[in-house]
Structure formats: C-alpha cells, structure tokens
Structure 1
Amino acid sequence: MESNEGEAQEKHVLLVPYPSQGHVNPILQFAKRLAFFGLKPTLAVTRFLLKTSPPEPGLVGIEPISDGFDEGGYAQAESIPAYLARFESVGPETLDAVVRSGKYKAVIYDAFLPWVLEVGKKYGLVTAAFFTQSCAVDAVLGHVYKGRVSLPWTEPELLLDGLPGLGPNDLPSFLSDPVDGPYPAYLQLVLNQFLGLEKADEVFINSVYELEPQEAEWMKKEWGAKTIGPTIPSKYLDNQIPGDTHYGFHLFAGADRCNEWLDAQPPRSVIYVSFGSMANLDHESMRELAKGLEITGKPFLWVVRASERGKLEENFNGEGKGRVCEWSEQLEVLGHGSVGCFVTHCGWNSTVEALAAGMAMVAVPQWTDQPMNGKYVEGVWGVGVRARKDENGVVRGEEIGRCVMEVMEEGDKSGEIWENASKWKRLSVEAMMEGGSSYNNILGFVEKYYGRVRV
C-alpha cells in the first residue's frame, strides 16, 4: 500500500474543522478518504469538543487545540463575535504548537477559519481551504465578497454568473436580511471564508460536480476550487472503505434508533422529520408542523432534540401513528425501505445525505444557506417540494400536508421526483468511484503533493 516507506513523515496531513457538528463531520469524512488513498490524516479538534463528545475517528488521528473556551465551548462566550475573536486569538497559538512538530506536509482548513492559512504558510505547509457548503452558496457569497451584490437584496430576481436566476427567498438569509439578530456576525463569518484564499494552494468544496456543474465551474474559474464530495460514510455511498459505517462524531447522540419501529412499517409509508443539530423552530412553527403530520394520516418519525421537546404538546404522537425521538442515525433512516419522505430544514449535510440515499424531500428551510438549498431541491434537482410560508412567515400545517402528499402519493409528480432522486443517488456514488469526478480530484491532490502512496 505504501511506496515510500522511508519517508513516512511525508504522508501526514492535518485537518482543522470549525468546531460544530455540521463542520466536523464532513472534514472528518474527507480525512478518512485521504487515509483510503494512503495518507496519514490527523484532525485538530477543540478541547471542549474532545471532552464532551470524544470522536471515534478510526484511521484518523486526533490533536487538541483551543478556542479559548475549553470548559464551555461556544455557549461560554458572551456573543458570536466574542467567540470568533477569542478563537482567532487563542487558536493560532495552540495550532502552532501542533504544526511545529514538523510532522505535517499539508494542512486542510475549514474556510470558516482563514487564520489557519497563515499558520500553515509560516511553516511552509501546503495549504488547502475546505468549503462545507454547496458550490451554489459559495458562488453567491463569492459574488458578495467581490462587491457585485448590494445588501440587503430585495429585487425580484438576482442574476449572477454561474447561477440560475434567484429570488429574495432563494438567497442565503444573511443576504436578504443582513442586519437583524445574529446575522451581521454570521454574514462576516461566511464572507471571511474568502480572506487570503488566493494564497491557498488548493480549494475544496463538499459537493459533487455533476450536481452543480455551472456553479462548480464558476468556483473553479474564480478560486481554482474542486469538488470532493459527498463526504458521508462509505457504507452509505460507495462501500470502498472498510469499517467506515458512521461519522464517528455526534454532539446529540442518543440510544433510541427506532429501527424496530421502522421495520414494522410498510414500504415508503413513513414521513421522516429532522431539522438538524442547530435549527430552532418557534412554538407556532412546531405546532403547525405537528398539525401537518396529523393531516397526512401517515406514520412519521420526528427527531426533536431534548432542548426543543417542550415546544410540543405533551404526549404528542399523532394519535398513535407516529414516534418522536431525540436522536436518530440519519443515514440509516434515510436508507430504510419504510421511509417515503424526508421533511428537512435543508442544511447542506442533510441535503447531501438525502441525495446520496435517493430520498425524496419536503424542504422547509429556516435560515443561513438553507433557503438556497431548498431552491435547488425543488427547482434545480427536482427531488422534492418546497413548502411556502404564509404572509406571517409561518409554514402552516395545511402546506406541510400538501407537500408531503405531493411527494408520497402516487402520480406523475411523485414519480418524477423519485426518478430524479434515483438519478442523483447514482451520480453521487459514481463521483466517488474510480474515475469519478470527486475520486479524481482527491487522487490528484494526493499525487501532486505526496506522490503515489497507494497502489
């Protein structure tokens, strides 16, 4: 498997994710891919995450770094800007201690952490930025960064090179409403991804070229970016990496996997509902979602985090037709034969998982990149239906019910959605197989900087 055994040091690569569930998982999976190609990857994870949710990384090593909040992590900070400022102050010093060992030839850093680039350059490392969102979202943000879009955008349609026409409700929420609540800090965070990007040796995006060809080409033209996704466990994709059956890192893991309940349901009969690890629906939206599930009369599996459970009516279970749990192994659920619809907030990781599983979706986007992902689910990939908000900004139960029935009831529309879902599943698998677009991009990186380390 190894060709240059006397140069073992030359195979080490360091990967630095932003410390949240949706960023650690894709970068950890990319690290496993690099191990498959013969490298020796190490993940640099904050001390708080290692203390609260120790990962099971398999072939990937672990190094601790600090975000300045070792006891409480993000929750310990007084504000979003305070957290990011402290991380940028403390992080480079602790990362410097890791890199100073001289073991690493390259560092791959989450684009949310542009200061890692400077640490890598200081020690002469190959540097590669890793974008965890879609090519489309990255392209829009790139246009904003270059000053080509005035904010807030309120015009009926936004036309940009490399992208389809976009309405205000299709854009990342930071762009149509950049001044309220936490948005200014988050907007700055996502735009800072492009700081110093021209100095990076490589730019990677967690997407599949065939999913977003024009968007990927624009990112390639502007930043030299390459797609390397989907970054999900091999078991649920190409099955080439032995033992790669789960992410190995869960902030909200629990014991209730609901498998026995799913096994007892008819094929394609269950509505699976999950809004990820960060989305927080208000009480009214939770009640409307519950109402929508009851309207369908179908069995459902609804993942509601413990912190959100109080927003549901006591003992809500859809009159015996459904099940509410605090956690599920989402990839197992999406691949289960009884599931016939995924009601999702359209976080990029969840969207990629559904595409790779060939699962039809009802898109109920909340904020950040989710509105744009929802636009693509319905209007570009044709793998689902996007629920519309009313004049008060709430998705009503009747709308949820309508969308679910459109996806799950037999008919021309449902048939087209499932046919498209099957196509994107096939293309996602092919991208990771030998000769596929993502396979070639990962192999190209390995061979360019490390030589042929795998035979």
Structure 2
Amino acid sequence: MLQFYDLPQTAMSKQTMQSSGGAGPHVAVLAYPFGSHPSPLLAITRGLASAAPNALFSFLCPGKCNSSQQVPSNVRVYNVWDGAPTGNALEDIASFMKVELAIFKKGVEVAVAETETGRKLSCLVSDAFVRVGKEIAEENGVAWVTFFASGAASLSSHVYTDLIRQKFRVAGIATGEDETLDFIPGMSNVRIRDLPEGIVSGDLESSFGRMLYQMSQELHQATAVFVNSFEELHPSITKDMESKLKKLLSVGPLVFSTPPATVPDSHGCLPWLDKQKPATVAYISFGSGAIPPPNELIAIAEALEASRLPFVWSLRDQAKQHLPKGFVDSANGMVVPWAPQIDVLAHGAVGVFITHGGFNSMLESIASEVPMIVRPFFGDHMINGRMVEAVWEIGVVVKGGIFTKNDTMNCLDMALAQEKGSKWRKNLKAIKEMALTAVGPQGSSAKNFKALLDLVSN
C-alpha cells in the first residue's frame, strides 16, 4: 500500500492551500532519499519558495525526510512510502527503484488534488538520481529541471561516461586506473581510480549502475541542471558542461546562500570547544552513509591518542564498540552520536576535518576555512578528495584510501603543524572569498539562482 502524508511542522495550512487555488505556478520536487541528497534540495526549494511567494512547491521525499529545516508557508513537504528499509544500502536502493515511479506519480496526483481547484503542475524538479523525473514531467506536459547533488567534476565524469568507457574499459574490465582524463576539459588531474562507481568500475548492470548510465544519457535533455556549487570553483569544467547541457546553473554554495536553521547542540560540543585553544581540535565525521571498518576506527583512535590532540568525533553508537578500551572516556576529546557540523566547523578551535569527502561536507569545510583529511568510501568521494588534494590544495587524501595509525598522524601533523597546512588555509581563504562573491548581489550564483527561479516559477 502506498502512503502519503504531510509533515505537520512544515505543511501549509488547509486554508492556505485552498486559497492558493489555481493562481500561480505549482512545482513538484522529487527528492532522492539516500545519503545527503534530500537536504540541499530542500534548502534550494526553501530559497525558491521564499523568492516566489505566489508559487506552490510540493516537496516529495521517500522515507523519513529531514524536516528540521523551517520552510515558507508555500512549501508542502510529503513523506511517501518507499518500501521496507532493511538497513542495507544497496538493497534499500534497489527496493526504492522498483517503486519510485508508482510513488512519485501517485504523490504528484495527491499534491495536485489537495489544492482546491486542482492546481496542476507547471514544472517538475527532480534529483538527477530520480530516474523517473523526466518521464513524469513528460506525462504532465511540463518542463523538467534536475538537481545534481555533487559538483561539476563529478557531473562531467557522468556526462562523458561513453567516451571514458571507450578508452578505459576492455572486455568488461576497467583498465588504466592511474591514467588521467586529460582529454576532458578541466579534468587533467583526475585519474580513472578517482571516478565514481558506475562509470568504468563497479557493477554496471546492477539497478543502480543502470540508473547512473540512464542519467548520463538524459541529463542533456533537461531544461536545466543545477548544482550546489559556484562557477569559480571549477571554471574550465563548468564552461565545458555549459556546452554539453541545455543550461547549467551553479547556485551555491547553499551554506552561504541558503543557510540551514540552527540545530540544537544536544551533546554539548560547542561549550567543550570553547575551552580549547584556537585551531587545535580535530573534528571527525563520515556523514550519514559511511563508517570505516573496525581496524581503521582503531587506527584513528590510536593516532589521536599518540598525537595528544583534542577531538570531537561524531560516531554512531553501534560503532563505538570497536574503539580501544577507555578511548570514549578520553580527557582529550569527546565521542558523540551526532554533532551540529556547520557550527562545529565554524568554531575557531577546530583546525582540521577528517571526512569522507562528501560534497556537502567539503563545501562546509571550505566555508569555515578548515583543511581536510579525506578518506573516500564511494560515489563522488574519490573525485572530491582528488580535487581537495591535487587541484585546490586544501587538504590530503589518506594514503591508499585506508586509515593507518602512522599515516593519520602524519596527515594531522601536516594540517596542524607544518607549512603545508598553512598553505592549505591560505588557499581555503581564497576559495571562500570567491564563494562569498558568487552568492553576493552581482555574483555568478546569485544570477544563476535568478535564472532558476525564472524557470520554475513562470
């Protein structure tokens, strides 16, 4: 059975929905429910709704959507049934993909019916990983605008999938992992090994692999593709992608342009940080979808202990059992199940961020000028890490992509004590200044946001 319901804390009142009637545009937004995908899409929806108060936005999110963001009254957030979650990411994705067409088509019908006069859709926005977005837009006779949740480098790697496979996949096997993509504009520092799974590596015939390939073939058909980035971060790649897509709109970083509401510091991270010296604390977090294996958790803990560094480690409770005995009670730091990441990174005591290299986390680290130590896991993590280390020079990727005690200690020393760390902070400052200019009144992201607003609200 398919279930649809408004989130009480974010839904429009019935009176507001009815009074909106048939006046003004109605935009359906289809979110991809895994990882950090829903949050930035909800943030940009919030920004668009604030700028277009006569438009109605129906935000459809499978599963338990993050509803902590405060949204304008012309945004309705729906949770929709997405199958029975198992906790196994690959199984949950496969389950979702079997039902996504049915749940989103039904969701759009419900969203239209809940307005007094059946306010029909005027535009459909979908996460690029929602493979049915184009189909539902066509069925409703409206423009299809899609959101790519990572940056321009990852986008380029998907757009060029066919060419990359022709060069680096022989008899079904990926080859030349250390070869670079110097034949693609702006990608000369990216190696085959840095590419997301589903391009030349991984199970290309899995449901997820087929979805990625379908996406690579259809992105150029979207009325526009928008990303949570800014043109100046990837100038050559952005220019090239503008020639491959109908319209590419870099509208971020959202951490500046549409900052999320303040969240409670339920574990007291910030008061603890207040007691530490400036730029001395290591903050460790691997996002919502990744946990290093036990041997790597131990290596991180041993490196922190040996370095005597103060730390804040956001780590799920079930993973704490793998840490060395007594480590959780260490006087040097705190291990918490969740931390208010943006606020923690912005605190002057934090000097380095040990991260998985997710694009949102990377932008948040740039916003706070905190160097990164990247341990990639999957998806865009590898290519983001490569950009951090080899292109922007604002951090380092752990050797071999695996934490060891000695390498982690070396990385921490680079970030906090060596001249290289000073260079990283100087580069971070320059990139942050470019980002602030981009979201400013005459900046590239501000102009692109206006273009996106015109597309979805007219």
Cα pair distance change 1:187/1:254, threshold 3 Å: farther
Q: Supply the distance in 2 between the matched residues of 1:346 and 1:22 (Cα, whole angstroms).
A: 12
Gaps of 5+ in 1: none
Q: Is this contact kept in 1: 2:100–2:132, CA < 8 A?
A: no
Per the normalisation by structure 2, the TM-score is 0.84
1:20-419 to structure 2, matched below 5 A, reads 20-39=34-53, 40=55, 42-46=57-61, 48-49=63-64, 54-59=67-72, 61-64=75-78, 66-69=80-83, 72=85, 78=91, 80-99=93-112, 101-145=118-162, 147-151=165-169, 152-155=173-176, 156-159=178-181, 160-162=183-185, 163-175=187-199, 177-179=201-203, 184-233=206-255, 237=256, 244-246=259-261, 255-317=266-328, 319-389=330-400, 394-409=402-417, 411-419=418-426
Q: Is this contact kept in 2: 1:227–1:437, CA < 8 A?
A: no
1:199-244 residue CA offsets vs partner (Å, 9 max, x unmatched): 32111122211101111122211113423343534xxx25xx6xx5
Which deviates more, 81-90 or 168-177? 168-177
Q: Report the secondary structure of 2:160's partner residue.
A: helix
Q: Report the secondary structure of 1:10's partner residue.
A: coil
Residue type of the alignment partner of 1:211: L
Cα pair distance change 1:172/1:23, threshold 3 Å: same
1:34-79 residue CA offsets vs partner (Å, 9 max, x unmatched): 13422545352346315xx54443216224253442x648769955
* TM-superposed deviation, 1:93: 2.9
Q: Is this contact kept in 1: 2:356–2:381, CA < 8 A?
A: yes
Q: Supply the distance in 2 between the matched residues of 1:414 and 1:200 (Cα, whole angstroms).
A: 41
Q: Supply the distance in 2 between the matched residues of 1:209 and 1:22 (Cα, whole angstroms).
A: 22
Residue type of the alignment partner of 1:57: Q
Residue type of the alignment partner of 2:175: T
* TM-superposed deviation, 1:8: 7.9
Q: Is this contact kept in 2: 1:341–1:404, CA < 8 A?
A: yes
Q: Supply the distance in 2 between the matched residues of 1:419 and 1:128 (Cα, whole angstroms).
A: 37
Residue type of the alignment partner of 1:220: E
1:421-448 residue CA offsets vs partner (Å, 9 max, x unmatched): 1111111122111111111011023235
Cα pair distance change 1:373/1:165, threshold 3 Å: same
Cα pair distance change 1:174/1:450, threshold 3 Å: closer
1:268-317 residue CA offsets vs partner (Å, 9 max, x unmatched): 01011110000121111111111222232210111101232222234314
Residue type of the alignment partner of 2:174: W
Residue type of the alignment partner of 1:45: L
Q: Report the secondary structure of 2:243's partner residue.
A: helix
Cα pair distance change 1:176/1:343, threshold 3 Å: farther
1:378-402 residue CA offsets vs partner (Å, 9 max, x unmatched): 111111122112xxx6321110110
1:178-215 residue CA offsets vs partner (Å, 9 max, x unmatched): 139xx944433333323533432111122211101111
Q: Is this contact kept in 2: 1:293–1:318, CA < 8 A?
A: no
Q: Report the secondary structure of 1:22's partner residue.
A: coil
Cα pair distance change 1:173/1:285, threshold 3 Å: farther
1:317-343 residue CA offsets vs partner (Å, 9 max, x unmatched): 484211111101100011000000111
Residue type of the alignment partner of 1:361: M
Q: Supply the distance in 2 between the matched residues of 1:397 and 1:294 (Cα, whole angstroms).
A: 10
Q: Supply the distance in 2 between the matched residues of 1:76 and 1:371 (Cα, whole angstroms).
A: 19
Q: Supply the distance in 2 between the matched residues of 1:6 and 1:343 (Cα, whole angstroms).
A: 47
Cα pair distance change 1:445/1:230, threshold 3 Å: closer
Residue type of the alignment partner of 2:261: H
Residue type of the alignment partner of 1:161: I
Cα pair distance change 1:13/1:80, threshold 3 Å: closer
Q: Is this contact kept in 2: 1:343–1:363, CA < 8 A?
A: yes
Q: Supply the distance in 2 between the matched residues of 1:309 and 1:232 (Cα, whole angstroms).
A: 32
Per the normalisation by structure 1, the TM-score is 0.85
Residue type of the alignment partner of 1:18: Y
Q: Percent identity?
A: 23
